[in-house]
Each structure stands twice: as C-alpha cells, then as structure tokens.
Amino acid sequence: MPDFPAFAFDTVAHIVAEPGAAGRLGEHIALRFPDARRALLVTDPGFLKTGLVDAPVASLRAAGLTVALYSHVMADPPEAVVLEAVDTARAFGPDIVIGLGGGSSMDVAKLIAVLAGGGQAISAIYGIGNVKGTRLPLVQIPTTAGTGSEVTNIAIVTTGATTKMGVVAPQLYADLALLDAELTLGLPSQVSAVTGIDAMVHAIEAYTSKHKKNPLSDILAREALRLLSANLITVCENGRNLAARQAMLLGAMLAGQAFANAPVAAVHALAYPIGGMFHVPHGLSNSLVLPHVLRFNAVEAAGLYAELAEIVVPAASGSVEARAEALAVAMQQIATVTGIERTLRQIGIHESDLDQLADDAMLQTRLLGNNPRTVTRDDARAIYAAAL
Ligand SMILES: NC(=O)c1ccc[n+]([C@@H]2O[C@H](COP(=O)([O-])OP(=O)(O)OC[C@H]3O[C@@H](n4cnc5c(N)ncnc54)[C@H](O)[C@@H]3O)[C@@H](O)[C@H]2O)c1
Ligand SMILES: [Fe+2]
C-alpha cells in the first residue's frame, strides 16, 4: 500500500478549454452569471495591441453587458498600478471582473476583485490567508501558457523598487477559467519559450515541494510536464500550431493546479530578485537559475527528479543521480534551442551583484521553506555564481 500523506486540494470550479471560447465569452458569462450587468476587462497594452480583445468585448456587449476596459497593466505589476486599477474599478462599479492576458493581467484582476468591493488596504492582504470576506465574481482567460494564474490562489505584486510580494488566499481562485489557444497563436517565440519554462518549473517544484507535496498535485505535475515538454519547442518554431498551443495552455493550467496546492520553492525564490533588479521576464529569471538549483537540490531530491526525467527525457538512463542530471541538462537544452539567454552575464549581471541577489533571495522565506534542501545565504550565492 502506498503511504499517502493527508492532504487538501483546491482549484477553480469551472474550466472551459476550447479554442474560440473567448469569442463566446458573453455566452459563458450569461450562463454562469446571469445577473451580471457590468463587466470590467483587465489587460495590458501589449495584448490590447493584438486586437484580440475585440471579439470577447463584442460578445459581452452582445450578451447585454456594459463593458469597461482597464488596459494599463504592466509586467510584474507594481503596487501603484494595482491601486490605480482598483480606483478605476471603483469608479465603474463592475459586478464581474475578467482578467485577459498573461499572469500580470490575471493577477491584477484578482486583486481588483478582492479590493474594489471590500474595505481592506492592499498592505493588509500580503502574505498567506489575510484576505477577509468575499470578492466580485472573477473570470480568468490566459493569453500566455505560463503562470497558471487562472487556477491559482496567488497574486504577485512588485512592491518598492525591486521586491515582490505575494497575496495567497482562497478568495483568489477564480470562478471560471477559459483556455482558448486562439489567443496565444501570435505570442512571440521568446515569450512562448520563457512562459513555457515557467510552467515547467511550476510542475517540477510542485513535485518536490517539501511540506504539501500530494498525490493529486503529483499527477497534475507529471501530466503538465508531459504536455509542456512535448509541445514547447513546437510552439516556438511554429507559433500558429493550434493543437500545440492548446496543449501548452492545458499543461500550464495543470502545473498551476499542482503548485497552488504544493507550492514552488528555491527556483522561484532565487528568480524573483533577478526579475526585480534587472527587469527580465519572470520565466527567463527562472530559467537562468533552474539547472543550478536542480543540481543543488539533487542531494535530497534526485529520486524525484529522476522520475520527472522519465517524462521529459525518456531516453535518460543510468543511476538515479545520472537521470536527475539528465533533467537539468534537458532544461538547459530547451533554453539553448529556443535561443533565450542562458547565463546571468548575458542579462547584464556581474560578480559584484551576487551578494545583493543572495541577500534578497533569503527574504523569500515563504518559498524557501518549500525547498527539498535547506538553502543558506552562502548556498544562494554559490547557485548564482554557478549561473553567472
Ligand atoms: N499568480 C500566479 O500564480 C503566478 C505564478 C507565476 C507568475 N506570476 C506572475 O505573473 C507575471 C508574469 O506573467 P506572464 O509570464 O504571463 O507575462 P505577462 O503577463 O507579464 O506578459 C508578458 C508580455 O507578453 C505580452 N503578451 C501576453 N499575451 C500575449 C499574446 N497572446 N500575444 C502577444 N503578446 C502577448 C504582454 O503584452 C506582455 O508584454 C509576473 O508578475 C509573475 O510574478 C503569477
Ligand atoms: Fe512562476
């Protein structure tokens, strides 16, 4: 008999995965939220420019809803942007909030849904379980296959110049997630690569999460890695492959479900200071430290990494340690093949920056506590040095 731990598992109640679903957003909302009259759609200027916002907005109007657009979301949303978005929402008075974009837009949508109708200040909700009361109805439509934010209970905010803080609360699970790969067909190759790697990291870190690893997250993480590793290069080489794009969205969502319940760890903890200080995309900062954290963790987690290597690199053979190393190499190869940066130096980081990065990484205690191996400040610095 396998020795399963006791565990709890939460996710979004309604998920629709169907190319073209965003063009029928109005129908989906009329079906699930028949009382909704005023919809606030949250997106960023880059996605707005694609024109792909038009069909969902038209379908909302056709369904009789009044629509307002907040389209000033910035990548790695600064707190000031979140507050401006909440003010816009209060002035409009939505009875439903729709996030349409990457993790940045979906995270802002979550925070609007929580803060616009309630009396809490944003500073009061950082951390775990600090959101009080209910929120506005919330629909999430990802346009990157990356963060899985459409099914997570997390929103990440850039506070101050370089630091990131998380809001983690059950109210952040959306009511409905729509996965429509037609929205991702034009996603540039480099964005496809780094967001896809972010999703793979979510699966890998969920599978080795120290305290909340559970059988359901494990199944989701494994299937996520299967879908993501089989389709990531394909979508980078041929962005308009709809089947591969839909598979990526599904994989990113499954990884999101996995890590919402078995949280991520040192890869993300070491990635956040890089993103904060050097303003590179979230997925790229993960990718830069990933192989080095995997090698550091292998002392404790080689067995689990070897299990994942069977999915990502089925040809890997040899000892548990050799297969764990094959996983690290395979992830480095994805970075090589997709042409994204592979060293910290390539994004302008110098030896003299490593102390600051290590100091900042140690502040990510929420994440480091999930890591399979304890990370000291010296360890963090050594991992950055290996990634240089
Ligand atoms: N809530 C969570 O569970 C969670 C998990 C991981 C990361 N995050 C956060 O999510 C954010 C990163 O999200 P992301 O990686 O999805 O990127 P993003 O939302 O910041 O978007 C990145 C860029 O891609 C563009 N873009 C998005 N979709 C596009 C499309 N279909 N076609 C063309 N361009 C498109 C955007 O305009 C933007 O310029 C970070 O703030 C990160 O901290 C949240
Ligand atoms: Fe991530």
Task: Give me the DSSP letters along 211-254.
Answer: TT--HHHHHHHHHHHHHHHHHHHHHHH-TT-HHHHHHHHHHHHH
Q: Measured from the CA of 107, which atom of ligand 1 is nearest? A: 1
- 288: domain CATH number is 1.20.1090.10
Q: What is the pLDDT of residue 1?
A: 46
Spatial separation of the C-alpha atoms in residues 297 and 308, rounded to whole Å:
14
Cα separation values, 82 from 43, 88, 157, 323, Å: 12, 10, 8, 43
Say how far apart CA 349 and CA 144 lie, in whole Å.
Answer: 27
C-beta neighbour count of 297 within 10 angstroms: 25
pLDDT at 195: 98
- Ligand nearest the Cα of residue 198 is 2
Residue list, CB under 5 A from ion ligand 2? 198
Residues 162 and 110 in one domain: yes
Q: How far is the CA of 283 from the centre of ligand 1 (A)?
A: 9
Q: Distance between CA 273 and CA 280 in Å, rounded? A: 10
Q: Quick one: pLDDT at residue 2?
A: 60
What pLDDT is attached to residue 200?
98
Which residue's CA lies nearest to atom 43 of ligand 1?
156
Does residue 7 fall inside a structural domain?
no
Same domain, 170 and 193: no
200 and 172 co-located in one domain: no
- Residue 4 placed within a domain: no
Decide if 6 is inside a domain.
no
Buried b (16+ CB within 10 A) or exposed e, 33-64: beebeebbbbbbebbbeeebbebbbebbeebe
Same domain, 145 and 196: no
In a domain, 345, yes or no: yes
Domain of 338, in residue numbers: 189-387
What DSSP designation does 78 have? B
Tell whether 228 and 315 lie within a shared domain: yes
Question: Does one domain contain both 249 and 303?
Answer: yes
23 with 144, same domain: the answer is: yes
Q: Give the separation between CA 335 and CA 2, rounded to whole angstroms.
A: 36
Pick from 140, 168, 184: which residue ends a domain? 184
Give distance in angstroms: CA of 183 to centre of ligand 1. 13
What's the pLDDT score for residue 319? 97
* 5 in any annotated domain: no
User: Which residue's CA is minimally distant from atom 21 of ligand 1?
Assistant: 102
User: What per-residue confidence (pLDDT) applies to 338?
Assistant: 97
Contact 288, 385 (CB under 8 A): no
Nearest CA to ligand 1 atom 12: 103
- Structurally, the chain folds into a number of domains equal to 2
- The reply to whether 209 and 93 lie within a common domain is no
- CA-wise closest residue to 150 among 303, 22, 278: 22
* Low pLDDT (below 50) residues in the chain: 1
Question: In the predicted model, what is the mean pLDDT of the chain?
Answer: 96
What confidence score (pLDDT) does residue 205 get?
Answer: 98
* 187-204 per-position pLDDT tens digit: 999 999 999 999 999 999
pLDDT digits (tens, 9 = 90+) for 145-187: 999 999 999 999 999 877 888 999 999 999 999 999 999 999 9
Q: Are residues 76 and 221 both part of a single domain?
A: no
Q: What is the pLDDT of residues 54-88, one digit of tens each?
A: 999 999 999 999 999 999 999 999 999 999 999 99
146: CATH:
3.40.50.1970
Instruction: Judge whether 264 lies within some domain.
Output: yes
Radius of gyration of the chain (CA): 20
On whether the CB atoms of residues 362 and 369 are closer than 8 A, the answer is no
State both tokens at 201: 């990291």
Domain boundary among 184, 219, 249: 184
350 part of a folded domain:
yes
Examine the domain organization and report whether 172 and 235 are in the same domain: no
Which residue's alpha carbon is at the smallest distance from atom 18 of ligand 1?
Answer: 102
283 Cα–ligand 2 center, Å: 6
| CA–CA dist 124, 54 (Å, integer) | 36
Q: What is the DSSP letter of 4?
A: P
CA of residue 146 to ligand 1 center, whole Å:
7
Same domain as 367, residue 237: yes
Same domain? For 198 and 125 the reply is no
Boundary of a domain, candidates 151, 184, 217:
184
Instruction: Tell me if residue 137 falls in helix, strand or coil.
Output: coil
Which residues form ligand 1's pocket by a CB distance below 6 Å?
44, 46-47, 50, 75-76, 101-105, 107, 143-144, 146-149, 152, 154-156, 183-184, 186-187, 191, 195, 198, 281-283
